[in-house]
A and B are shown apart, each in its own frame.
Chain A
């Protein structure tokens, strides 16, 4: 079956622009995670949803970052007033169960100029 998909795959934004990154998890997966991965680093946790409930947003670096999953499937990560330090790959992962194994999407590479 289809895996986790993300769009766009690449995004270039000018500093100060707002961006929206989309994640389509595997159908039926309860849990959805967003991670930020800087070059040469491991994925850093941003936020976690169980169905439509955002149970943990402790990793969001500032109030410019906002994530939602209104119907418990597709999720959007929004970054307002982008800064150069936001440049990274944003990875989405989903798992069937809360303690299940996350499967990753291909990521969105965001470059802020």
Chain B
């Protein structure tokens, strides 16, 4: 079992729709959770961080964390073509110390 799992996609949504991206992690000790966006040929950039159970909203983005289910999600409202990218889920503060572990990423396509 991989430490951080994501559906590789691609996930295709029409412009203006809500895109829902999901991630599960295996280490119950994990404390910090991040969503990064990576455009083709570029390095990952942070979108959201979340540390406690519940929802955290920032503009069109909402991160959701459920530690009991070991589940993290990212919702993108009013999706735009410019949101088309790979979204990486990352987890830190695990049994292995402070290394940040990434999932394989979900490719999102937003159709105009």
In chain B, positions 77-112 with a C-beta closer than 8 Å to chain A are: 88, 90, 92-93, 96-105
Would A104 and B45 count as touching, CB distance under 8 A? yes
Which among A43, A55, A98 is the interface contact of B44 at CB below 8 angstroms?
A43
Residues of chain A within 8 A of B104, CB atoms compared: 41-42
Would A56 and B96 count as touching, CB distance under 8 A? yes
Would A104 and B44 count as touching, CB distance under 8 A? yes
Residues of chain B within 8 A of A35, CB atoms compared: 102
With A31-B98, A107-B43 known as contacts, the answer to whether A99 contacts B105 (CB < 8 A) is no
Question: What residue in chain B is nearest A109 (Cβ atoms)?
Answer: B41
Would B43 and A91 count as touching, CB distance under 8 A? yes
Asked if A65 CB lies within 8 Å of chain B CBs, one says no
Question: How many residues on chain A are close to B (CB under 8 Å)?
Answer: 25
Interface range on chain B: under 10, 10 to 19, 20 to 34, or 35 or more? 20 to 34
Asked if B49 CB lies within 8 Å of chain A CBs, one says yes
Residues of chain A within 8 A of B97, CB atoms compared: 48, 55-56
Asked if A12 CB lies within 8 Å of chain B CBs, one says no
Cβ of A53 to closest chain B Cβ, rounded Å: 11
Residues of chain B within 8 A of A103, CB atoms compared: 46
Residues of chain A within 8 A of B4, CB atoms compared: 42
Asked if A66 CB lies within 8 Å of chain B CBs, one says no
Determine the distance from Cα of A101 to Cα of B98 in the docked complex, in whole angstroms.
11
Residues of chain B within 8 A of A99, CB atoms compared: 31-32, 92-93, 98
Interface residues of chain B, those whose CB is within 8 Å of chain A, are 4, 6, 31-32, 34, 42-46, 49, 88, 90, 92-93, 96-105
Could you show 23 A-B contacts with beta carbons less than 8 Å apart? A33-B99, A42-B88, A42-B103, A42-B105, A43-B88, A43-B102, A45-B101, A45-B102, A56-B97, A56-B99, A59-B99, A91-B43, A91-B44, A99-B32, A99-B92, A99-B93, A99-B98, A101-B32, A101-B34, A101-B49, A102-B34, A106-B42, A106-B43
Interface residues of chain A, those whose CB is within 8 Å of chain B, are 31, 33, 35, 41-45, 48, 50, 55-56, 58-59, 91, 93, 98-99, 101-107
